[in-house]
Amino acid sequence: MHLREYQRNDLEEILRLFYDTVHIVNAQDYTREQLDVWASGNEDKESWHRSLQEHYSIVAVEDGQIIGFGDILNDGYLNRLFVHRDYQQRGVGGAICRQLECYPKQSSPKGLLTVHASVTAKPFFEARGYRVVKKQTVQRKGILLTNYFMEKSDKRI
C-alpha cells in the first residue's frame, strides 16, 4: 500500500468506495433509510472534486486500486476517512489518519484535531486518542442520524 495525494481521475473510484463503505460497513449501526441519505449514489461529483481539491486529500492505493481515502482542512478538521470494505482492520485507516493528522497548516484556536465520527467509526477514533465532546443527531433530508463530535489534542503545538 502507498499513500499519495488525490487526483481528479480518482473521483469515480472514490465515490464508489464511499457508497460501498457506507452501505456495507456502516450497515451494522444505521438503518437502510439512514444509509441511503448518507450515501445516495448520486453525489454531486463537482462538489466532491472541489472539496477534495481544496482540502489536503490523500488516497491509499494497493495493486492499482484505491483502498481508502481521507481529507482534512487547514484548521485540523478531519472531513472524511473511508476504507474499502475488503481492507477493514488492516491498518489502512490508521495510515491515512496519521498522514492527515500531520498536515494542518493552521491550528484551531484550541490546538485540536476534530472529527464528526459515525457510530461505526467512534471506536477507531477513540483508539487514536480522540475523545467524545458530544453525541449529536443530524438531519439529512428529514432522516435523523447519530454521530459524535470528537477532538484530539494536536501535540505539535
Residue 11 in this model has a pLDDT that exceeds 50: yes
Provide the pLDDT for residue 111: 75
Domains within the chain, CATH numbers bracketed? 2-153 (3.40.630.30)
Q: Which residues make Cβ contacts (< 8 Å) with residue 55, sequence separation at least 6?
A: 71, 72, 73, 79
Which is more confidently placed, 104 or 35? 35
- Across all residues in the chain, what is the average pLDDT? 93
Residue-wise pLDDT tens digits, 94-147: 999 999 998 866 656 567 899 999 999 999 999 999 999 999 999 999 999 999
The SS3 of residue 69 is strand
Dist CA 54 CA 129 (whole Å):
27
User: What pLDDT does 47 receive?
Assistant: 97
The pLDDT of 43-62, averaged and rounded, is: 97
CA proximity to 100, closest of 73, 66, 127, 126: 73
pTM of the model: 0.92
- 101, 106, 103, 95: which is closest to 150 by C-alpha? 101
**Per-residue pLDDT at 157:** 40
